Structure 1
Amino acid sequence: MKKWTLLALLLAVLTVLAACGGSEEESGSGESGGGEGEAYRVGIDTTYPPFEFEEDGEYTGIDIDLINAIAENQGFEIEFNPMDFGGIIPALQAGQLDVAIAGMSITDERKEIVDFSDPYFDAGLSLVVAEDNNDITALEDLEGKTVAVKSGTTGAQFARDNEAEYGYEISQFEDSPSMFQEVSNGNADVLLEDYPVIAYAIAESELALKTVGERLTGDQYGIAVLKGENAELLEQINAGLQELRDSGEYDEILNKYIAE
């Protein structure tokens, strides 16, 4: 009788020990499932220099440097997701992205879908003249002048819309290099081009050109998150952007890619 009692007691002890071991294992596995260090997914379009492009297998450009600097300043991590520009806002809506930075103009239509950061870049059209031309600084100086534009662009449309008011002649070109050369060699007095595009071209190609006057249109770029989501992240982005402006790092990033 005692023999069976001792055996039963041993079985009971083993059962309790096994149960305790199983509880500890389950508890440990639950603690290891935290989300610390998770990176924010950032949508970019790498076909838009000088803001985003790929060089030697690395993402680079104003937007890339800017969001990297903001992330470092604010202490969060990011991972880039390159895609066509048209797919970025749908990807935000589908929950595939947390942030978008892609030379995205702040518009009322987009504001219905996303929340924008403070503007980080003033884009828009600029007047561009030869490096040694000090006579043209505004539209009012264009009477009797020749304005070079590229066919099918917003610059060409702007030139047509304002031709009668400012009294200039329009000369159209099919490609940018021909348009740039026309002004450089003096056959045209001025050209119209999107500011960041021409500024980057001047910096990279050492064109004998310069931008003058104020921007002719007022587009501004912003960093986007899905409307009503990631409010805390948006606050961090704005705070980081302001600190970069205050420290001078913002200007350093711009000057790395574009010339004023």
Structure 2
Amino acid sequence: MQYRTRLMVCAAALGVAGPLSAQETYTAGVEASFPPWAYVEQGEYKGIAIDAMKAIAEDQGIEVEFTDLPWPSLIPALAQGRIDLLVTGLNVTEDRAEALDFTIPWWENDDEILVPTDSEMNLVTALCCGATVGAQNGATQYNWLESELVENGDVGLSIRGYEDYVVAVEDMEAGRLDSVVTSTDTAEQFIANGRDIKIIGTIQRNQPQALAVQKGDPNDLLAKLNAGIVNIYDSGAWEEIVHEYKPEASIREIPTTMPDYVESYQDPIPGYDG
């Protein structure tokens, strides 16, 4: 279930000194159906990105208000200035870099091919020959399926787009899809939560993930976010947050790799002198 709720991260709750009026408040857009990065449990925002953003806000003395939006509307909302930053498991792509500015990357991800546990499909038949594959509308997985497997050489694949991956996996379990392609983190989370599904193949992507702000950084947020990311990494807070939600995860060095086309990652990088 999607929740259209808001949560104010108060200065008192974060332990930030100083009066509330002296702090800056920013609206952070999230997709709260994207575990382990962002989701709602008993009316409370949780996840790696949520907790990390709270820690960054505390470190930088700013106030953040989270707002839940469907994934397809998040990037347009940021580009149009209706939110100030995007906080979720956001993959960096060239198209997105033309519309947004990214922080230093804090994660890398691959994609996984999911099928029902009793399926006899393999990584080839799950993506060809009449298979119906689910992916999230606007996600890099959907775009990859469309551009690499349909437009560049039709292999008999049918793609079905979804507002979120929860519904896609439910449809697959109900027999309305043959497979689903999603990020490694999300796939592992579904399996850990007891879904009757399995991973049958990995699409090696090494996709960097980062926070994003409006193109041109009109709110001067990049320096604060970059400094906060480095500080929570150096303090060990980042590792604690990640392992709370993914105990088995290896902690990559921050910053991870970033493509050359990201303008906001050219020297000098705001708030980062590494």
Is the structural similarity TM-score above 0.5? yes
Q: How far does residue 74 in structure 1 lie from its aligned partner after superposition?
A: 1.3
Residue 122 (str. 1) matches residue 111 (str. 2): no
Q: 1:86 aligns with which of 68, 72, 76?
A: 72
Q: How far does residue 227 in structure 1 lie from its aligned partner after superposition?
A: 0.9
Secondary structure at 1:205 match in 2:
coil
Length, aligned pairs only: 199
Q: How far does residue 37 in structure 1 lie from its aligned partner after superposition?
A: 2.4
| Counterpart residue type for residue 230 of structure 2 | Q
Q: Which residue of 2 aligns with 1:75?
A: 61
- Larger proportion of strand: 2
Q: What is the Cα-based RMSD across aligned positions, in Å?
A: 4.3
Q: Which residue of 2 aligns with 1:226?
A: 214
Question: Hey, what's the Cα distance between the residues in 2 that align with 1:178 and 1:110?
Answer: 29
Question: Hey, what's the Cα distance between the residues in 1 that align with 2:200 and 2:232?
Answer: 25
Residue 55 (str. 1) matches residue 44 (str. 2): no
Q: Which residue of 1 aligns with 2:164?
A: none
Describe the superposition over 1:72-95 as per-residue Cα deviations: whole angstroms up to 9, x where unpaired: 111111011111122222222333
Q: 1:152 aligns with which of 111, 116, 133?
A: 133
Q: Which residue of 1 aligns with 2:185?
A: 196
CA spacing shift, 1:238–1:176, aligned 2, 3 Å: same
Larger radius of gyration: 1
My pick for the range that moved more, 37-46 or 92-101, is: 92-101
Q: How far does residue 102 in structure 1 lie from its aligned partner after superposition?
A: 2.4
TM-score, length basis structure 1: 0.59
Q: How far does residue 178 in structure 1 lie from its aligned partner after superposition?
A: 11
| Unpaired segments ≥5 residues, structure 1 | 1-33, 129-143, 162-174, 181-190
% identical equivalent positions: 29
Following superposition, which runs of at least 4 residues in structure 1 exceed 6 angstroms of deviation?
Answer: 144-150, 177-180, 206-213
| Counterpart residue type for residue 225 of structure 2 | I
Q: How far does residue 210 in structure 1 lie from its aligned partner after superposition?
A: 9.1
TM-score, length basis structure 2: 0.56
Secondary structure at 1:219 match in 2:
strand
The answer to whether the 8 A contact 1:199-1:211 is kept is: no
Question: Hey, what's the Cα distance between the residues in 2 that align with 1:36 and 1:177?
Answer: 46
